[in-house]
Structure 1
Amino acid sequence: MSTPAQFNPQAFIELALSRGVLKFGEFTLKSGRVSPYFFNAGLLNDGEALSLLAQGYADKLTQCKNVEVIFGPAYKGIPFVAATAVALSQTHGVSVPWGFNRKEAKDHGEGGVLVGASVEGKKVWIIDDVITAGTAIREVVTILKNAGATIAGVLVALDREEKGQGDLSAIQEVQKELEIPVHALITMSDLMVYLDAKGDQDALAKMQAYRKKYGV
């Protein structure tokens, strides 16, 4: 089997569009904002798509410090972190322990909410699809810290680059509050570069207007 090519943001955007993961149009978000695009990583639901995402995560993690354990928040983060562990091993020759959490604690067997590699005394990178409000990330950070882990950083697929509660983006808020790095594979800026290259001026204009109103 050939070694996968290095992650390419534009190729990932193309694949996301072809799978319906990324859509341009008009979408009302939980925040009430009307967004000109929508991203649902849950639709990366075949081998090719998940492999490309995992390759991106793996490539990025090799550039990060303190990668002792990788962790996927339930539920979307579970296949992401498993596939990333495989990509790290097959492509980069690095075997990294991985784990995830349950939504509800198990009261039999091994019990608890954590599954997989032990995080106690380890530096852990959290892998997820997107940080919208930061609530889910804060919850999993609390779970990991209670288990004795040190949070090394967070890696997401998309940075929407828009304001959260205040003038900072949700990602910037998490970085500031938790004092950890947060990296993304693609950003809103990448989407705009893609639209410009494709000559889709209508969609680009809507993105620019949205960014002017909510961007950071």
Structure 2
Amino acid sequence: MSATSYAAAIIETALSAEQPILRFGSFTLKSGRQSPYFFNFGLFNTGALLLALSSAFADAILAAYPDLGLASAGPDVPRVLFGPAYKGIPLVAAIATELARRGRDVGYSYNRKEKKDHGEGGSIVGAPLAGQRVLIVDDVITAGTAIREAHKVVEAEGGKTAGIVEALDREERGAGELSTVQEVEEELAVKVTSVVKMRDIVAWLGDKGKLDEMKAMEEYRAQWGIKN
């Protein structure tokens, strides 16, 4: 099985950047696991790189929600994108801009870390969340703490979390048999859409004949991966 076209595109962009965003080798994660790869989304730090990332996000979002941004969209389709501070702020703005370029105009908003008590006040900047179905945007769901906090912000503002979209799903088990992403899906009863999954990286390596890296990834997945 090959990687999706948008996953392959962002993998290639990540490998060709001046500072390699995706690296293969041996990397110690916070969990203590020795990972054969490391994806540093903080290095999508130029206009061109952010454009590539937002384009891949837009592809993944429209694959999951084909009617998003259309006047004919049903009531279950998200109407607003929400980017939690701080990393989600430039990301959600860039994605909304890319969607608009494709004729899909949706609202976007983000939260302040501290509530503002002057001017318009409040902790939300951008499109109102009240009464809206909201798609939360983030880079990677690691422990799930940030995404759960973002969900609470949306609900506190009177919105409804309709889904979550992230840049990378490592597809690794947590303390139990489920991954953090699967736990979040069960707990919040929403779908998590990922631009790139670990399986995409494995498939891309196979397609490119990078067999040593693919073998290391497959061994890691056999040890720590979730059951499909």
Task: State the TM-score, normalized to the length of structure 2.
Answer: 0.87
CA distance in 2, matches of 1:198, 1:59: 22
Q: Where does the alignment leave 5 or more consecutive residues of structure 1 unmatched?
A: 1-5
Contact 1:70–1:125 (8 Å) recurs in 2? yes
Residue 167 (structure 2) pairs with residue 157 (structure 1): yes
Aligned to 1:25: 25
Correspondence 1:1-16 to 2 at 5 A? 8-16=6-14
Contact 1:7–1:52 (8 Å) recurs in 2? no
Aligned to 1:52: 52
Contact 1:74–1:100 (8 Å) recurs in 2? yes
CA deviations over 1:162-188 (Å, ceiling 9, x no partner) = 112311111111000000000101111
CA deviations over 1:8-49 (Å, ceiling 9, x no partner) = 321210111122221111111112211111111111111221
Deviation at 1:157, TM superposition (A): 1.0
Aligned to 1:3: none
Q: Percent identity among equivalent residues?
A: 50
Aligned with residue 80 of structure 2, among 46, 60, 69? 69
Residue 122 (structure 2) pairs with residue 122 (structure 1): no
Aligned to 2:34: 34
Paired AA for residue 43 in structure 1: L
Aligned to 1:79: 90
Moved over 3 A (4+): none
Aligned to 1:43: 43
CA distance in 2, matches of 1:111, 1:170: 34
Aligned with residue 148 of structure 2, among 132, 138, 142? 138
SS in 2 for 1:38: strand
After TM superposition, the structure 1 stretch with the greater mean CA deviation from structure 2, 26-35 or 103-112, is 103-112
Paired AA for residue 148 in structure 2: R
Contact 2:81–2:134 (8 Å) recurs in 1? yes
Contact 2:21–2:41 (8 Å) recurs in 1? yes
Contact 2:6–2:60 (8 Å) recurs in 1? no
CA distance in 1, matches of 2:38, 2:97: 28
Deviation at 1:74, TM superposition (A): 1.2
Q: Say how many residue pairs are matched.
A: 210
Deviation at 1:7, TM superposition (A): 5.7
Aligned to 2:71: none
After TM superposition, the structure 1 stretch with the greater mean CA deviation from structure 2, 146-155 or 190-199, is 190-199
CA distance in 2, matches of 1:149, 1:182: 17
Q: Where does the alignment leave 5 or more consecutive residues of structure 2 unmatched?
A: 66-75
CA distance in 2, matches of 1:154, 1:111: 27
Aligned to 2:114: 104
CA distance in 2, matches of 1:33, 1:135: 20
Deviation at 1:214, TM superposition (A): 0.8
After TM superposition, the structure 1 stretch with the greater mean CA deviation from structure 2, 72-81 or 100-109, is 100-109
CA distance in 2, matches of 1:125, 1:119: 10
SS in 2 for 1:70: strand
CA distance in 1, matches of 2:107, 2:175: 34
CA deviations over 1:102-145 (Å, ceiling 9, x no partner) = 22223333333211110011000011111111111001101111
Paired AA for residue 60 in structure 1: A
CA RMSD in angstroms comes to 1.6
